[in-house]
Amino acid sequence: MSAVIRNLNEVKAYRAAFHLQQRIYVLSRHWPREEAYSLTARLLRSVRAIGADLAQLWTRRPEPAEFTARLSIVDAEVAETVHWLETAYRCGYLEKEQYQSLIKECDALCNMLTAMARASQKISVEDEAEHKVFWLDR
């Protein structure tokens, strides 16, 4: 029997998303000012949307089909975050270790989202294999 979640902060995916958001915020404070709108703001918007969308999802507690659909929106925000992290890394704003660590956090978050969707919809293993994200092999 699983425990009843009474508070948003008890949702592991939300805590992971918030931690990721804070790490990226701290790292981005040292990036060039000329990247403020073209990179930094876009990255911060996407990473903050992950936690915000999870908070909204948890608060609304929709039916399983809508829950899964909204999780796919959260998953898309993670994918966008990965894109901007890759851009930051390729521009030399992140060290290799920082980049790899952040990508691992994104991967872990995607795995949590998939587990949440599976628990909600009982997604088959075949469907889950199609859902694997492209950055898992890095």
Tens place of pLDDT for every residue, the chain, 138 residues?
455 667 788 889 999 999 999 999 999 999 999 999 999 999 999 999 999 999 998 887 768 788 888 899 999 999 999 999 999 999 999 999 999 999 999 999 999 999 988 887 664 444 445 544 433 334
Closest to 82 (Cα-Cα) out of 56, 60, 106: 106
Task: Tell me the per-residue pLDDT of 28-68, one tens digit each, with 9 for 90 and over.
Answer: 999 999 999 999 999 999 999 999 999 998 887 768 788 88
What CATH number does residue 27 fall under? Answer: 1.20.1440.60
Q: Give the list of residues 6+ apart from residue 29 with CB closer than 8 angstroms, or none.
A: none
In a domain? residue 110? yes
In a domain? residue 109? yes
> Which amino acid type is present at position 16?
A
Supply the pLDDT for residue 64: 79
In a domain? residue 97? yes
Alpha helices in 1-137 (DSSP H): 12-28, 41-60, 64-90, 96-121, 125-131
Supply the pLDDT for residue 47: 98
The residue written with tokens 């890394």 in the block is 89
Summary mean pLDDT of the chain: 86
In a domain? residue 127? yes
In a domain? residue 3? no
Residue 133: which domain range?
Answer: 8-137
In a domain? residue 86? yes
In a domain? residue 108? yes
Total domains in the fold of the chain: 1
Supply the pLDDT for residue 21: 98
In a domain? residue 80? yes
**pTM for the structure as a whole:** 0.82
